Structures are given as C-alpha cells and as structure tokens.
C-alpha cells in the first residue's frame, strides 16, 4: 500500500508539472519557457499540433478508437480519469513536436533514430493484425522472444511494408521541418521524458490508456510495462495419481469465443440463431446458462486448462501456473494430447500459455497457419473436420480447442451471403447500434455455433467413442447501444459478459447420463476440469475432493456463482462479481 501511495503522489506531482508547463506555454510571455511559441508562429504551431493529432487519431489509433476512449472514460469510468488522459495525451503531442522541431540538430537526429523502430513495430502490427502495437501485444512479445525468427519469416512482407511506410513518414516529417521556421529550445526535450513517466504511471495506477499514444511513447512504455509485469513461469506439478478406469477414448473440450448463452435458440426458442442445435437438443446434456471464470479470454482459458478454483479468484498467488494442467492428466491417462488454436495464424502462444505448457502437448495445430488461403470465417469449419478425423483414430486422444468463434467485429466471422438477420453492421463497423449489432452477432452465432455443430455431429457417430464438452471463454454485453465494451469491462460490468453455454455431446451415452437428468442454470467453468478428469478415468471421489463436483455428479449443490471482471491475476482494475440468472439486462 505504501508503494501505491508513493506512485500516486509521484503521478500527481508529474501531472501538476505538465499542467504548469502547458499553462506557461499559452501565457502571453511565452518566451520565458523552453517550449515557446512566438505570436508570428502560433498558427504554424497550431496547424502542426492539429496535423499530428489527426495522424495519431487515424493511423496510430484504430478507427473510431478516440471516440471509444472518450466515451468509455467519461461514461464508464470518471471525469477525473478523462481529464488525466486528455492532459497526458495533449502533452505527448507537445513533447513529440518539441523533439521534431527542436533547434538542436543532434537531438532531432536522435529522435528520428528512436522513432523509426517504434514506427516499424507499430505499423508492423497494424499491417499484420489490423491493430497497432498495444499492451497485450507487448506481453505476448516479451514472453515469446524465442519465436522472433519465426515471426520474421511468417510476416516478412508485412514488416517490409511497415519498414517502407515508416521511412516515408520520417521523410515527410523531415520535409515539413525544412519548410517550417518555428523551433523549440533544446531544453524542451525533457517534456518527452516527463510525459513518458506520467503515461507509464497512468498505465500502472489508473485506467488511463496509452495503447493509442504516438508510437514514440506507446511502444517503449508498453514494453516496459510488460517487462515489469512479468508473470511467473514455474514448473507445473506432476499428476499426483493415476486413473482407475480406461476413460473415454476420444475426449474433446471445445472452448468457443465470445458466445453468449442467452442468445442461443436452446435458451430462446423463438430466436433462430441455432435452429439445428435446437432440433437436436434431445442429444445434448445441456446445463443451461453457465458462468465463466472471467470476462476475458486469457484468464478463462488458462483457468480451464489448469483447474483453477473459484475460491482462488483473483489468483494473486499465481497458483494457476504451478497447478497440474489438463494435458498432464491426459498424458498420465495414456492420451495423445492436441491443442488446436483457430484464432491465431502464427506460431505464437496466447491465453497466458507458456513453453512449460507445451511440454505436455504432443501436437499443436493452427488452422489459420496450416490453411492461410482459407477466409477467417472458415477456420471453425476446419476445426470440425479435424475433430471428426481424430474421432476415427484407434488411439486415445484428448483435444483442447480454442475456436475462432464470434469475436468482434462480428461481421468477419460468417460468410456475408449467409446473413440471415438483416440489417447488419459493416465488416469493420465501430458504432454499436443495438438492432444492427444484434443482427450481426446473431448471424455469427448461426454460422460459428450452429453450422459448426451441424458439421461436427454429422461426421461423428456413436461407434467413434467420442465425448465433446462445449463452452465459451466469455459472453458479450449486448444490452447497450452506442460505443461500449462487449466484454472485459471492469466498471459496471454486465453479467451477460460471463453468460456462457455449457453442454456435453455424448452420442454413445458413455457418461450414462440422459439429457433430461441435467440441472440447468447452476453450473460454471469450475465444473469443467473435474468433468474432464472423471471422463479420463480418474476416481470420481478423488476428483471431487481435489477439484469440486463435476457435471457428471447428480448432487451438484446450488450455490451463488461469481465471475472475475478483469485480469485473472488481479493486475489493474478488477472485481469479483455475483452471477445471477436471469440478470437485469434480460429481465426488462
């Protein structure tokens, strides 16, 4: 607490200095400051400031991101944080201008040398993923530096384009500088360091966002934050016991992306988002509206893999990383283990997975990398085909699937010609109109959930000895209009962000459960891990003692459910939220 108080005081001191500097710079006696703007050059300065701001808003930020940031900070956070953000953001532009139009040629040259790699990294991510280099990218990059050569090979052309674009931008800056007589004093360069420190503290201590600052600040600040936010990577504990039964021959855990259970026909029969599944509902062990561990993908997935317990949320002790994971248990039970990631197209890890986890996975497959010619919306269909193939193998197989699912922007997750619900959002739309958003999202569900299951169930027969456990990492907040966060919010979080489907498809009745015997709206992600262990052949009594009840238990107690809004490990803003169904958003 003492350290946090010191950081807070330091941040307040820095912000007050920034405000004083800006006020002095706008005073009539502007010559008294290093960052002086004589009257005859004021229009030039203002034009440069506006041009730089326009560049950052259109190139450094994602489309519509500025509006999103302002509405989020103003309506979902606080006016104070909005003012802090605007102050530091404006100061970042001033600091960059102070360096680019400095009288010191050596300081200007040093700025270009530092700015070029920042632009290269930022634009590379933009060309590769459509987004700029942000804090999550910094965390991923820092934790996977050993894969840098693979990234260079896979994204050579995108990085080459980024190199050319960065060079052209600096050439343009140099041309504008030569035609602009206004210069700042060499001592004005210290503003960049002050802004950088303030932005770093904002990132650490408040919801101030630096993901969209100019690259000169954003890239080094986010890398520094990622380096100082390092998560432990301990060796996982070995499986403590052996199974007592052979287990299911083919066991698949399918974790979908951004699927809200309340929007499926299984829960709303009049809503035709998953008509096929509804017609086959008697074949499903449907547990209704379940609650996810968190409202973020990474936290939910690593917790599902590791058997994290609800009482450990948030996992500030990082027990998740040292627990025996599901792949270790599967190998102990004689399974060949597979991890299929339909989201990423490159050879990288996500969802807090580390090289330690790869030790227990026999095969890692990424349809996006194996079939780069296929459109994004076909990746889940490739997964269905692959699971059908694995269900035919004579060997015991355990598969953990991360589907591409219905992640925003929703329009890219299904074929445009199969838009059953109309009208819809444009493919890259930012504005969240309630009707258009729901239509677009429902189209995504109809393809990525219903069509996926139609393809899967048509290819796997009872003789294949296969059991599929299905859920999603989190849901989507579909109760608002305008620009709003669909998931991963930390303020005024809707329970809909954690409302996920949960069912078992068991065509051969290997679980010995009948669909009518399932209890709905009582379960959570916490029941998935013990279910998988029981299906792998581990003693049910031991599983229940160590991990709690499974979906196969008939006497699952009715208890209050909770989910974590924010980071699984309690970094940054977070809160433990009660999950009650039906929740207010749907009760209207």
Q: How far apart are CA 384 and CA 403, in angstroms?
A: 10
- The pair phi, psi for residue 260, each rounded to 5°, is -90, 120
State yes or no: pLDDT of 573 exceeds 80.
no
Which tops the pLDDT comparison, 538 or 519?
Answer: 538
What contacts 24+ positions apart, CB below 8 Å, involve 452-455? 452/380, 452/381, 452/383, 452/384, 452/403, 453/274, 453/276, 453/277, 453/280, 454/276, 455/381, 455/384, 455/385, 455/388
Confidence of residue 11 (pLDDT cuts 50, 70, 90): low
- Average pLDDT on 146-173 reads 83
User: Quick one: how far is CA 61 from the chain centroid?
Assistant: 17
Q: 375 vs 207, which has greater pLDDT? A: 375
- What is the average pLDDT across 435-451? 94
Q: Which pLDDT belongs to residue 536?
A: 98
Percentage of residues of the chain with pLDDT beyond 90? 50
CA distance 374 to 481: 33
Q: Is the pLDDT of residue 77 over 80?
A: no
The pLDDT assigned to 17 comes to 58
Could you tell me where the beta strands, DSSP code E, fall in 257-374? Answer: 284-291, 336-341, 363-365
Helix ranges restricted to H, 411-559: 434-445, 452-457, 528-535, 540-547
Most confident segment among 143-157, 169-183, 498-512: 498-512
Best CA proximity match to 70, nearest among 176, 179, 163, 209: 209
pLDDT tens profile 83-125: 777 777 888 888 888 889 888 999 999 999 999 999 999 888 8
Higher pLDDT, 217 or 487: 217
| DSSP β-ladder status, 363-365 and 466-472 | unpaired
pLDDT per position as a tens digit, 26-71: 444 444 455 566 676 778 878 888 888 888 877 777 655 666 566 6
Quote the CA–CA distance of 392 and 459 in Å, as a whole number. 10
Q: Which phi and psi (to 5°) does residue 289 adopt?
A: -85, 110
- What is the DSSP secondary-structure string of 381-428? HHHHHHHHHHTT-SS-EEEEEE--TTPSSGGGGS-GGG--SSS---TT
DSSP state of 257: S
3-state secondary structure (DSSP) of residue 294:
strand
In this structure, what token pair is assigned to residue 43?
A: 């229009």
Q: Provide the pLDDT for residue 217.
A: 85
Domains of the chain, start order: 39-228 (no CATH), 259-579 (3.40.720.10)
As a residue count, the chain comes to 588
List, in order, residues 6 or more apart from 105 with CB less than 8 Å away. none
- At residue 578, φ and ψ (nearest 5 deg) are -75, 140
Percent of the chain with pLDDT over 70: 80
C-alpha–C-alpha distance, residues 574 and 351, integer Å: 18
Q: Is the whole-model pTM more than 0.75?
A: no
Res 79 pLDDT > 80: no
- To the nearest 10°, the Cα dihedral for 565, 314, 534, 380? 40
Q: pLDDT, tens digit, for every residue of 504-527?
A: 999 999 998 877 667 788 899 999
Average pLDDT, the chain: 84
Q: Are 333 and 243 in contact (CB under 8 A)?
A: yes
- Other Cβ atoms within 10 Å of 1 Cβ, number: 5
Identify the residue with better confidence: 416 or 32: 416
Q: Give the pLDDT of residue 586.
A: 42
Q: Which residue has the higher pLDDT, 438 or 77?
A: 438
Q: What is the average per-residue pLDDT within 539-557?
A: 91
Taking residues 239-251, what's their average pLDDT? 97
- Residue 195 token pair: 């802004």
Tens of pLDDT, residues 272-320: 999 999 999 999 999 999 999 999 898 999 999 999 999 999 998 999 9
Q: What is the DSSP string of 550-578?
A: -TT-TT-----EEEEEE-TT--SSEEEEE
Residue from 437, 444, 383, 438 nearest 413 by CA: 444
For 462-488, what is each residue's pLDDT tens digit?
Answer: 999 999 999 999 999 887 665 556 776
């Amino acid at each position: 607490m003492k350290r946090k108080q010191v950081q807070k005081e330091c941040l307040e001191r820095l912000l007050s200095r920034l405000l004083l500097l800006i006020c002095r710079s706008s005073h009539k006696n502007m010559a008294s400051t290093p960052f002086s703007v004589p009257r005859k050059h004021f229009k030039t300065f203002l034009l440069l400031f506006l041009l730089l701001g326009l560049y950052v808003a259109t190139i450094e930020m994602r489309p519509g991101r500025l509006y999103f940031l302002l509405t989020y900070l103003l309506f979902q956070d606080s006016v104070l944080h909005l003012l802090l953000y605007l102050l530091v953001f404006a100061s970042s532009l001033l600091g960059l201008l102070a360096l680019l139009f400095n009288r010191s040629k050596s300081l200007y040259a040093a700025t270009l040398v530092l700015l070029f790699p920042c632009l290269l990294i930022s634009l590379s991510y933009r060309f590769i993923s459509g987004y700029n280099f942000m804090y999550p990218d910094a965390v991923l990059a820092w934790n996977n530096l050993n894969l840098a050569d693979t990234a260079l090979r896979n994204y050579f052309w995108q990085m080459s384009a980024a190199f050319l674009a960065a060079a052209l931008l600096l050439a343009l800056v140099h041309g504008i500088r030569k035609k602009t007589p206004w210069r700042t004093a060499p001592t004005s360069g210290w503003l960049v360091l002050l802004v950088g420190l303030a932005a770093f503290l904002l990132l650490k201590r408040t919801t101030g966002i630096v993901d969209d600052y100019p690259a000169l600040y954003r890239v080094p600040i986010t890398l520094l934050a990622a380096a100082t936010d390092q998560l432990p990577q301990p060796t996982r504990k070995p499986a403590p016991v052996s199974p007592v039964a052979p287990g299911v021959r083919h066991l698949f855990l399918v974790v979908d992306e951004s699927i809200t259970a309340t929007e499926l026909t299984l829960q709303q029969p009049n809503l035709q988002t998953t008509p096929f599944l509804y017609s086959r509902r008697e074949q499903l062990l449907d547990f209704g509206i379940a609650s996810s561990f968190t409202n973020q993908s990474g936290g939910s997935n690593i917790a599902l893999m590791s058997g994290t317990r609800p009482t450990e949320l948030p996992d500030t002790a990082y027990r998740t990383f040292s627990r025996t994971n599901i792949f270790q248990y599967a190998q102990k039970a004689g399974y060949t283990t597979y991890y299929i990631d339909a989201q990423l197209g490159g050879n990288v890890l996500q969802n807090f997975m580390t090289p330690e986890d790869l030790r227990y996975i026999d095969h890692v497959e990424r349809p996006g990398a194996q079939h780069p010619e296929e459109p994004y919306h076909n990746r889940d269909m490739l997964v269905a085909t692959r699971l059908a193939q694995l269900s035919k193998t004579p060997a015991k197989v355990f598969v953990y699937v991360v589907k591409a699912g219905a992640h925003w922007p929703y329009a890219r997750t299904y074929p445009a010609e199969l838009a059953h619900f109309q009208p819809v959002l444009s493919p890259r739309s930012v504005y969240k109109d309630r009707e258009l958003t729901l239509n677009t999202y429902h189209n995504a569900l109809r393809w990525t959930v219903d069509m996926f299951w139609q393809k899967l169930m048509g290819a796997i027969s009872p003789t294949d000895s296969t059991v599929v456990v299905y859920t999603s990492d989190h849901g989507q907040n579909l109760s608002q209009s305008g620009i709003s966060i669909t998931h991963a919010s930390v303020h005024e979080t809707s329970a809909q962000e954690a409302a996920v489907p949960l069912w078992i498809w068991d065509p051969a009745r290997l679980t010995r459960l009948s669909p009518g015997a399932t209890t709905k709206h009582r379960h959570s992600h916490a029941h998935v891990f013990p279910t998988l262990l029981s299906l792998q052949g581990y003693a049910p009594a031991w599983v229940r003692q160590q991990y709690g009840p499974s979906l196969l238990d008939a006497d699952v107690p009715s208890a209050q459910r909770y989910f974590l809004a924010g980071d699984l490990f309690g970094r940054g803003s977070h809160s433990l939220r009660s999950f009650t169904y039906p929740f207010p958003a749907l009760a209207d």
